[in-house]
Structure 1
Amino acid sequence: MIQAPSSLAVADEAADFLRWLESEPADEVVDDLQALRARLGELLRNKGQKDEALRCCLKGGAVRGLDISARIRAQLQQSSLPLPSALHRASTGISTALAEMAQWLESLQPGSAPDSCASRRLALALCSEAFVVAAMSADTAPPGLWKLANGMVVELEGDASYFTMAALAAASPESLTARQLAWIADFLRNGLPELKLQSEGESLVGGWWIEPGADAAPVSVARRGAPAGGDVRHFSLVPLARVLGEHVEHLEAVIAAAENTGDVPEVELLDADEDDLPPGLTPVELLSLLRTLRERWVSSPLRMQARRPQHYAIQVCLGLRGLWELGRGRGEDGRVLEWQVLNESPGGYAIMCVTETGANASRPAEIVAGIVLGVRRQAGGAWAVCVVRWVRSEASGRIELGLQVLAPSYHAVQVAFRGATLKGVVPALALPAMEPMRRHAAFLAPAGTYASRRFVFVREGARVYVAQGRALGLDMQTASIELFRYEIDPYPI
């Protein structure tokens, strides 16, 4: 834990700043953030300050800044996208303030070697936190943040804050929810296996590379090779993926044991059996996240189909429940919105919505990576079912989504698994086979529905159709939904 410096013989401005740090934080996080940025700006405008005094104040300011960031992160976990304008300004403000303090710390003339190393590690911790908050806000990193971090880390043997930042960037944060990103950051800060930068990295398995002078996140060698002859550093996240593999195996055993005894695997189960994992996610959600991270840290996912720029209106229905109700004949009022297509490919879209941000403006349903939505070109057409792959919100009230098409149409059904702890039927979407991605029909249901090989489903229409299905495997699982292929069971029990 970074401790605020004690009172020192420094200039009056610095002494005033240190006294303010000793005061209680403001009740409203926005007020505390504004006061920190105003006082830091006033302090740094005075060119007569000594480097020692400035460094002392910046270390104290870092403590307050990290506390403010923790409070904003807690709000981000409880908010949906697009963020309310006040929270968007606060998250952007704290990311910028942390990055500025890191830049100021690095720019000061270094003292002794230990002091210089400590200041650089503190600056990297500020960079890492700035990136976490920006990612949780579905925003881009502050300009110059990666250039600063890449330049500092090459001067150190290894830095946990930098590799936390790099691993989070390698995980494709735009495809994860704020809760998941907060969990990953906490997990990484609990301790990392030894990770090192190397001058040569062609033989590294699951390799990544950075350019110290570039304002860019680490790049996977699977996506693009490092430039020849440049100043490049390499590293591998395979040691971190191996740690995740151990947790995956143990968590699979914990969940299987709970299901065999008829228990519902809740968060308390993890607190008892996974003491070295942060709380906050259910075991089922956590297992899916760990598997995803393990894959991405070894090999970054590649886009298989090019997307073509487009600009036309498209109708959107948000959420599995909304599509299910439309499929059962419910009215479209309040469920169908109009968005804009930015680009498209045979397998997906990028779409954008701009919402009003006034106090009385209506807000769309909760939007996070991993939810389901329907799209269609015009009223009366079939709804294509899509999953949200990534979310970006670089301006208040504006949100962009990357979509993967799961099926060109669907039917509303209800499913009930044998052996499920929670009895009763669950709303689901029946999806047709879609070659070559999926050779069997599938069901799209809320996360946690899949419980055994056999299940019963009901489809209503002119006639009620009841059948028993046999699940063929779970193809997709997010924090919100899961997709599993099935076939009609020829030997119902």
Structure 2
Amino acid sequence: MTDTVFNAAGTERTATIPSGIRSIQQWLEMPLAPQPADELPLLRAHLKALREIDGTLPQRVRILDGLYSRSTMVTSRLIPSLSVDLVLPVPRKTRRIVRSLLDLLQMLADDTLAQLDVHDRQHVPDKERQLALWRSVYVLAQQLMISDLIASPARAGTWLLLHQTYAEARRLQLHATVPRGEVHSLQHLYHAAILLGWAQPASLTAREVLFLTDYFERFANQIEPLSSSAAVNAATLCIDPLRDAAAMSSFRKIALPTADLDCYSIAGLCALLKVQIAQLDAGTPPQELNLPDFAGTPAGRGVLVRLSVRWSNSGKRRFQRRMQNQRALVGAGIDGLWQLSQKGTAANVELSTWMITNESPEGYSVMHVSGNIGALSVGDVAAVRTGSDQNWQICMVRWAVSENPEHLELGLQILAPRAVPAILAQPSDGSTGTEHLRVLILPEIPKLRTGQWLIVAAGALPKHRDKLLLVIEEENVAVREVKSIYVDEQTGSVEILSIEPDQDPF
């Protein structure tokens, strides 16, 4: 029997895989490979071999248990490496590893569910059925989360299989109890998975996806089932259990629902979010709130705030989108935008070309055509110039979708029609005197925003520094003293502050 393995360069080679229960058991007793990706082809090959091997039910269950345990260990070792400094679109080597990992998890889900038919015929105790269902939900939820990490759409059929597996567990009344050796019930795993899908993972970075995965694992018990006839509000999500899709807003009209909808209220979770944000702002460490450490960072707090705002309103679109096919130039990052705002086309900034696929007064959906996009990611700022317009609009990347290494789509929200480049002077922590940071001032927009915004790199400002000194060089050099009155938004890349002139001396 043969299968494909990856060498250190990420290319493929063929390896001979032994078959037979004894040989699989001997392999399971061997230590893990130094590189966890090397385990993936071998695990898939042994799962394939197990389907063809004759053996008693206890023997097959024992081998599948071993392959499941080894697969979950390999997955837990691989996932952190997928989220560290991940850039989009994901490189080919990384995407091949992810595809191999997703194949493995799908095989585990299929084989574990196939056990249920055998259990039914042989009248196996309910605890064995419960464990098989629990493991299937777990690996399916892992599949969905890994797709979210690389901004890729979920595989066809994954959501449907997850919904069906949970429905079967409910039918057997095995969803609410915790299997031996596990921490959470199958219902808890399912609720955490649908919450992550409801959180719009395309609008998250890989680190933020892992953060919310951890967060929902801790607080998924805050959502409450509702009847489909319950009052519709912004804090209600619905699931069509016979549709291959994540949860959707209760405000959305579903054409020809295929079954009675499963509805959930997240009002309790929204209230908890607001309390946690207030406590973090008051200086309470995240550990005392049973929050992941990431919640104590600007990006972590920003994710919680965005969830709280998004889940507390209907999210109805204010403007209709118009289909487009015009080209646009895009520059990324605060430094790039600073130079473009300062020098225009004379700036030494690497630009990329994108196709605008649709637009509205609030922003654009764009698809990459050519050019190096650098480290542009969700939560970063970008400058966009369309057609013959000489102005660079200042936008924020709100979501990203990448189906393959040649494909990347972004959603850009327009923050301002232009920016004023400035230098922020602040005392340095060391003995080097004053530190100078490049920042962007976004002017007020009549009828939309009365005040000015200041865009700074994430974590660049001390938490409680309100008074700021800005140096602006246009036709003349001007020095402005301003104060920060509110943090409008925090992401892993930037912070946006509302500012106003400071009348008091420093």
For the aligned pair, the TM-score class normalised by the smaller chain equals 0.7 to 0.9
Q: How far did 1:93 drift?
A: 2.4
Please say if residues 353 and 369 of structure 2, whose CA atoms lie closer than 8 Å, have aligned partners that are also in contact: no
State the match for 1:235 in structure 2: 264
Q: Give the TM-score normalised by structure 2.
A: 0.82
Correspondence for 1:223 among 216, 241, 252:
252
Q: How far did 1:383 drift?
A: 0.6
Q: How far did 1:471 drift?
A: 3.4
Correspondence for 1:99 among 79, 99, 106:
106
The structure-2 alpha-carbon separation of the partners of 1:456 and 1:333, relative to structure 1 and needing over 3 Å to count, comes to closer
Alignment coverage as a number of residue pairs: 461
Please say if residues 148 and 201 of structure 2, whose CA atoms lie closer than 8 Å, have aligned partners that are also in contact: yes
Distance 2:269 2:83 in 1: 25
Which residue type is aligned with residue 434 of structure 1?
I
State the match for 1:57 in structure 2: 63
Structure 2 counterparts to residues 66-465 of structure 1, below 5 A: 66-78=72-84, 79-108=86-115, 109=117, 110=119, 111-154=124-167, 155-156=169-170, 157-158=175-176, 159-190=187-218, 192-193=220-221, 195-200=223-228, 202-203=230-231, 206-224=235-253, 230-254=259-283, 270=286, 273-274=287-288, 276-280=290-294, 282-299=296-313, 301-329=315-343, 331-353=346-368, 364-378=373-387, 381-416=390-425, 424-448=435-459, 449=461, 451-465=464-478
Which residue type is aligned with residue 64 of structure 2?
L
Please say if residues 419 and 451 of structure 1, whose CA atoms lie closer than 8 Å, have aligned partners that are also in contact: no
Secondary structure (helix, strand or coil) at the match of 1:139 reads coil
Amino-acid identity (%): 25
The structure-2 alpha-carbon separation of the partners of 1:117 and 1:201, relative to structure 1 and needing over 3 Å to count, comes to farther
Q: How far did 1:310 drift?
A: 1.7
The structure-2 alpha-carbon separation of the partners of 1:420 and 1:472, relative to structure 1 and needing over 3 Å to count, comes to farther
Q: How far did 1:425 drift?
A: 3.5
Secondary structure (helix, strand or coil) at the match of 1:274 reads helix
Q: How far did 1:346 drift?
A: 1.5
Give structure 2 stretches of 5+ with no counterpart.
1-17, 177-186
Secondary structure (helix, strand or coil) at the match of 2:441 reads strand
The structure-2 alpha-carbon separation of the partners of 1:434 and 1:191, relative to structure 1 and needing over 3 Å to count, comes to closer
Q: How far did 1:127 drift?
A: 0.9
Structure 2 counterparts to residues 30-45 of structure 1, below 5 A: 30-44=37-51
Secondary structure (helix, strand or coil) at the match of 1:475 reads strand
State the match for 2:486 in structure 1: 473
Q: How far did 1:204 drift?
A: 6.7
Secondary structure (helix, strand or coil) at the match of 1:415 reads strand
The structure-2 alpha-carbon separation of the partners of 1:438 and 1:275, relative to structure 1 and needing over 3 Å to count, comes to closer
The structure-2 alpha-carbon separation of the partners of 1:87 and 1:294, relative to structure 1 and needing over 3 Å to count, comes to same
Which residue type is aligned with residue 413 of structure 1?
A
State the match for 1:5 in structure 2: none
Distance 1:397 1:102 in 2: 30
Q: How far did 1:428 drift?
A: 1.1
The structure-2 alpha-carbon separation of the partners of 1:489 and 1:204, relative to structure 1 and needing over 3 Å to count, comes to same
Distance 2:330 2:272 in 1: 40
Q: How far did 1:472 drift?
A: 4.0
Q: How far did 1:55 drift?
A: 4.0
Range moving further from structure 2, 14-23 or 418-427: 418-427
Range moving further from structure 2, 236-245 or 198-207: 198-207
1:111-165 CA-partner distances (Å, limit 9, x unpaired): 3222111110111011111111110111111211111111121233441211111
The structure-2 alpha-carbon separation of the partners of 1:241 and 1:95, relative to structure 1 and needing over 3 Å to count, comes to farther
